[in-house]
Structure 1
Amino acid sequence: MQNINSLDKATSYSQGVRKTLRVVLDFLSAIAALLVVQNLVRDGQFGASIVATILLLVVLCVLPAVFLRRDIYLPLRGGMIVTGLVTANFIGIANLGLGAAGFVGFPFYMALCAALFNRKLTLFFFAVFSCAIAAIAALFIQGGLSSPDPRIGEWNQNTTNWVIMLASLMASNFLVIILVSNLSRYWKETDNVAANQALQFETLVEYAPDAIVIYDIDKNHFTSANTRAEELFGHSREKLVNGLSLAELSPERQPSGELSASLARKHLEAALDGEFPIFHWRHLNAEGNEIDCEISLTRMPPFSQKLIRANIADIANRLADQKHREELQSQLSASQRLETIGQLTGGVAHDFNNLLAVTLGNLELLLEEADEERRVEYVTSCINATLRGADLTRSMLSYARRAPLHPEVINLNKLVLETKNWAGRTLPSHIQVETSLLAQLWDVEVDPGVAESALLNLILNARDAMPDHGKLTIETANIRIDESYQDSRNEALEPGRYVMIAVSDTGEGINSEILDKIFDPFFSTKPSSEGSGLGLSMVLGFMRQSEGTAQVYSEPGVGTTFKLYFPALSPARPPKPEGSAASESTSSQGKRILIAEDEDEVLTVLKTTLEKAGYLVTRASSGDEAKELFEADPGFDLLLTDIVMPGQLKGTSLATALRAINNDLSVVFMSGYAAEATVHGNGLRPEDIRLMKPIMRRDLLAAVATAIGTPEKTA
């Protein structure tokens, strides 16, 4: 790089231009040498002037070609040759006048000056040459100089001849100067750009963080290597280049077990075919130590040769970091397993110790008690403690998905009604119980006893969440999941038909900090005397074992909904085919919908779905904003609103406010928890439709079509 830089500063020419100038100057030196020989033969014809010419040519033209050969002397050699030849020409012109052949060389001398020097200096030489020729012309015209040939002498004394010669010579010289100066400037500019780009590229390669080498497949050795390659392999650049082969820098076999030679040949052939292979490779350094590397190959021009550029990255630190992360992950997983096991064993030990304490105490009393009635009481207490232990064991098996199940084909509507009838008697009077059961609910195949136990567990939790007053709502629905679904615990729920049971309460809700922990075993917000903390974990375990899942949705200050998803049995008849997109667009054309939803992502999905179905949609992020939009333009056909939103107007109160403006407005309610829990009892109409999130596209379009009165868009 230093040689390129210094050469660039010295000449400002590309290598090709410098070579051309050297050839031209050598050629002119040869011509000067021939002139010297010729003048030595003709010294008797011209006398002393020939001696001066010979000396000038030898000193200024011939000797520099011998002693000033380096490129740095090119401008000096060029100036000396031009000076020598021009002076020799002027001597010839002074002797022969217009008959001298030296006039022909002046354009060439000007071109050489323009190539060697800047334009100002060249124009200065041009002016000096022109003035010198004009002075010689004046001397010939006035008789101060004369030609030995009388015929040429008449030409030399004619002013017109000199004017024509001088004008022609000045015009040709000036045009040559302009042309060569422009070409020279262009060469210099492009050469500077090329030199800078070459310097930048060389710096980029030389100081790259990866080792970069060029490998010649035919010669079986490296032809180029950067500094990082020296550091990586531990060999000097001289030894790497034209010294070591690829085989000498690789072990016999790679980590995959393949021979390094055959594997390298495969990758090199792929690069020759125009591919860009990237692969893991193990190299050997100068000390024989193995180095794990990542290599990327690219074929290099000229394509008449088999040159491959290799970028070699040392990935030892990356592999060490990856191994460290895997170890940390393994330790974290082990720690989490230990924490879970500790939590399980702690909870089990606590509950079983309590049971054993009851059993042990009653047995000890039984040994000393003579009264038969008291003995029966002690035995009964032991039996009850044993049964509670069995229940605890069954709950643990349910959580681990190991409880024995006895599935039957049942209708969950019937199970909900039966459970509500006998469990409802245990609920306090301040809790209102309502059900919203879907007609034509799909059948499921589950263990009815365990399903009833899971539902009862959710009902009791809802009761505990409403110590003063509230409403408990149980809903059922048919749900179709079209794509693979991940629940909140990242457990997959396969696409298909499901039956959902939702149990909702209007209690204070669950804090987001503990919402993710409520299904953990032995986690409970209740006092230890009121439960073991296995209820919800048992529900989740049962749902998993039944190939379904359990979800929870809660809004602090509003309420909580637990949803159980049971796989539905295959339908006895094929579903009704969906309506075409054309019919959807036709039936919904021009219908206007106002959406009120505080979740931006949900709002965007709803708006996009309805607009694709042909509806005109206006969005609002709160009930208050929706009311302002409706007051400004009450011409909407439908209000689609979330029930729980920020601001003064919730979904129910928003519907009431808008119907005060337009009594015929249709409304569809949405909620993440049971819609019945917040809609019923608020003075709304029976025909209002209530949807539970997440809402399938089919259900949304069908509800909107029903509410507006257009034909149903999908089955």
Structure 2
Amino acid sequence: MLDPQGIVSSWNPGAERFKGYKAEEIIGQHFSRFYTEEDRQASVPRQALAAASDEGKYETEGWRVRKDGSQFWASVVIDPIRGEHGELLGFAKITRDITERKNAQEALRQSQEQFRLLVQGVTDYAIFMLDPTGRVTNWNSGAERMKGYAAAEIIGQHFSRFYTDEDRAADVPNRALRTAGREGRIEMEGWRVRQDGRRFWANVVIDAIRDETGGLIGFGKVTRDITEQRQAQKALEEAREALFQAQKMEAVGQLTGGVAHDFNNLLQIISSSLEAVEQRLAAGQITVGQHMAAARTAVDRAASLTQRLLAFARRQPLKPEYTNLNALVPGMRDLVQNSVGEAVQVEMRLSEGLWPIRVDANQVESALLNLAINARDAMPDGGRLVFETSNIRMSKADVASESGVAPGDYVMLAVTDTGNGMTPDVLSRAFEPFFTTKPVGQGTGLGLSQVYGFARQSDGCVRLESEVGRGTSVKLYLPRYHGAEEMRLVPQSAPEPQTLVAGAVLVVEDEAILRMLLVEVLEEQGYTVLEAESGNAALPLITSAERIDLLVTDVGLPGINGRQLAEMARSLRPDLKVLFLTGYAYTAMDREVLGPGTELLSKPIPIDRFCSRVRRMLQGS
């Protein structure tokens, strides 16, 4: 207790404990001695009593001084004590030592300030907060630099303004918040828009922020501009794909001799069969089935070889898919045999129950062909080339020397020859790009490096074993695929009715003999047939009043090509159906872009299949 002038009149054990004075030492002394020298000079004690007297209560915090001179942070409450008639009798003063709380609050304040300075000092990341509805509540300097908005311009605005029109129309911003709120976090990449309208490719992380009770109070959002990294990655992928395509084309060049030899044999079979048929018919004999069957078999073999060669050579996007090497490797046998020649015996040793893998099948074929060509060059006098598959479990010790390769289940594909083998110094450099022991003009040195790159891109590895005079074995280890098989089911179609369908067909084909055969077949089926030898020659028919229900056109026409002709025809005749004929390889992607009322057949085309397709298209099914 204090009297009206501030003299201490009572003192409890708590005051003695944290201020250090015994009652007899302090009673009768002025309470200002507990204040710091600065506060006394500023008349803070006197002002505190005056405020308590005038306002009925005085409450504050500040530094106070113990008997030993040490200071503590105090919470102080002073209440006036009045008599029955309102006269001031003195003051009741309650003091609490809250130094620890003060220190904790100061530490928290300093931590928050340091964090604020850290966030504000980060200029490569946009770091800001959103309220639960997605409105911006704070904004760092990195966000201003990256997105172009000053804090005053953007705080209170919805964060969706950073998204593209397409993303806003698809409700991407709100869906992102819902996902973050539900799962606690979302990470995504996409185009974002700066204040000046320019776009940049962003990596975005949104974290949900919750209070102690689990209630959602907002979101923390971190954005990085990774446009340059994306462009660099895209350039690297394009360069890698171009290198891969160049290596494929080199392999095709290496194949030319073998393919020409095989085609000459097939042409000989066809030519001899036709001559035999002519001779028998001239002699009045009609038993020509054996010779016709031989010619048809040769045509089928040539068509299969051409399609595989074209599919292999064409530029295609690399696409990992479910693959079983026991199905893929045997399909390469003809191309491999053509590339190595008759002096090399090709063997297949395929392990039963082979695990599936997920790789780009086109890359596997390219790797096999490159290895086959290397093996052929290592066996100038002939030899044996063995393709082998098996399941392998690799331990940590097995992959210890392979950086980035995890232990686990792998499928091994080995290509082994009985050729010259490699010396240790050649073996040590075999995977280096552009390293080759072949004479100038006979190899780029990209074959084994391409195989190595393919294996590593597929999360696998490749190992090389070779001994001079005993041959070489290249072993690819590709990780087992544990996903479900990607089935490609072909619907079974019921036999088509052979009813005649009326209609007018325009046939556009620059190969005169083929055009003649197609026209003749269609006329025998009862169709009205128009014909033209080129896209330019077909235009007058397209623009005339002639009835045309179906356009049958080669894709690779001179001048106006088949696709251009079809577009012009469709602009004049929107309901016109189009059947493309092509001598090139095509993929499922080609079929997808054809559109309704448009189909494609690859040459050579069996006549019955051609007639069936024409009939089906004219029926509108």
Shorter-chain TM-score tier: 0.3 to 0.5
Structure showing greater Rg: 1
More strand as a share of residues? 2
Q: What is the TM-score when the length of structure 1 is the normalising length?
A: 0.31
Q: What is the TM-score when the length of structure 2 is the normalising length?
A: 0.34
More helix as a share of residues? 1
